[in-house]
Amino acid sequence: MAEIETVEEISDEIVAEKKTIKEILTEMKDISEAMMDLAYSALLVNSKGLAEIVVEMEDQMDKLRYEIEIKAMMATRNREDAEDLTGILHVAHAAEDISNAAKDIVDVVLRGEADHPVLRSMIEEADETFVMEKILSSSILADKTMRELKLATNTGMYVAAIRRGKRWIYRPSKDLKLIAGDVLIASGDHTSAKVLEDLATGKRKELE
């Protein structure tokens, strides 16, 4: 059973990471946006797998909120500094509110309540789907950048997030290089999803 970290241990980790307030706020923004996309998609396709990812991301948001509050307190030297940082903290809390709303949406899926006739009709009419595809070592996607692959153009799939080990990469940049073992969270139509699956598993050897 994993040991529960104390407040002191978590605070020490935050100081050691040396992330700036701007970096933390940007990460919170990216995660909250990705969470809302994934939450609606989990509801749309009634996917507990996607719903569980959203729950995991919400836990990360809680940690980031604590991180930014610690950083803000450490950066405050006087009343003027405190007033300047108040707006930043309001934005951070708003981002967390969005993540909490996303968590509330996927709770419907996790409780098994997404099979309502109205929701089922939405699923049947939806053209878009979300998929999770792991890149195998035999895949042509491995060791290539997002810029080289142009997945949105070549497959019709938009990559919202990537899981690399225990780390999440949200809204990946064009310079990010994919590696074997990465799990792509992507959206698109069903035909495009099949193309991405074949590329990720190595069944398809050409992008076009």
Place domain 7-110 in its CATH homologous superfamily: Phosphate transport system protein phou homolog 2; domain 2 (1.20.58.220)
**Residues 187, 128: contact at Cβ < 8 Å?**
yes
With bands split at pLDDT 50, 70 and 90, how would you rate the model's confidence at 76?
A: confident
Among 70-74, 78-82, 122-126, the range scoring the smallest mean pLDDT is: 122-126
**Residues 88, 21: contact at Cβ < 8 Å?**
yes
pLDDT at 7: 47
* Residue 164 CB partners (closer than 8 Å, separation 6+): 179, 181, 182, 183
Residue 120's SS3 state is: helix
pLDDT at 40: 84
pLDDT at residue 14 above 70? no
Nearest to 181 by CA among 150, 133, 124, 136: 136
Domains 7-110 and 127-201 share a fold: no
pTM (whole model) above 0.85: no
Among 5-9, 102-106, 137-141, 190-194, the range scoring the smallest mean pLDDT is: 5-9
Place domain 127-201 in its CATH homologous superfamily: Regulator of K+ conductance, C-terminal domain (3.30.70.1450)
pLDDT at 10: 47
**Residues 120, 182: contact at Cβ < 8 Å?**
no
Nearest to 5 by CA among 45, 70, 63: 63
* Residue 22 CB partners (closer than 8 Å, separation 6+): none
With bands split at pLDDT 50, 70 and 90, how would you rate the model's confidence at 87?
A: confident
Burial status of residue 148 (CB atoms within 10 A of its CB: 0-12, 13-18, 19 or more): middle
What digits encode the pLDDT tens for the residues 97-153? 999 999 999 999 999 887 777 766 766 666 677 888 999 999 999 999 999 999 999
**Residues 25, 92: contact at Cβ < 8 Å?**
yes
Residue 179: phi, psi to the nearest 5? Answer: -130, 160
pLDDT at residue 201 above 70? yes
**Residues 135, 180: contact at Cβ < 8 Å?**
yes
pLDDT at 102: 94
> Residues of the chain with pLDDT > 70: what percent?
87
pLDDT at 129: 79
Among 5-19, 31-45, 51-65, 116-130, the range scoring the smallest mean pLDDT is: 5-19
19 versus 65: the higher-pLDDT residue is 65
Q: At what angle do helices 79-110 and 21-45 cross, to 10 degrees?
A: 20
For the chain, give every domain's residue range.
7-110, 127-201
pLDDT at 141: 97
With bands split at pLDDT 50, 70 and 90, how would you rate the model's confidence at 47?
A: confident
Q: How many CB atoms lie within 10 A of CB 165?
A: 9
Q: Cα separation of 173 and 87, whole Å? A: 28
pLDDT at 167: 84
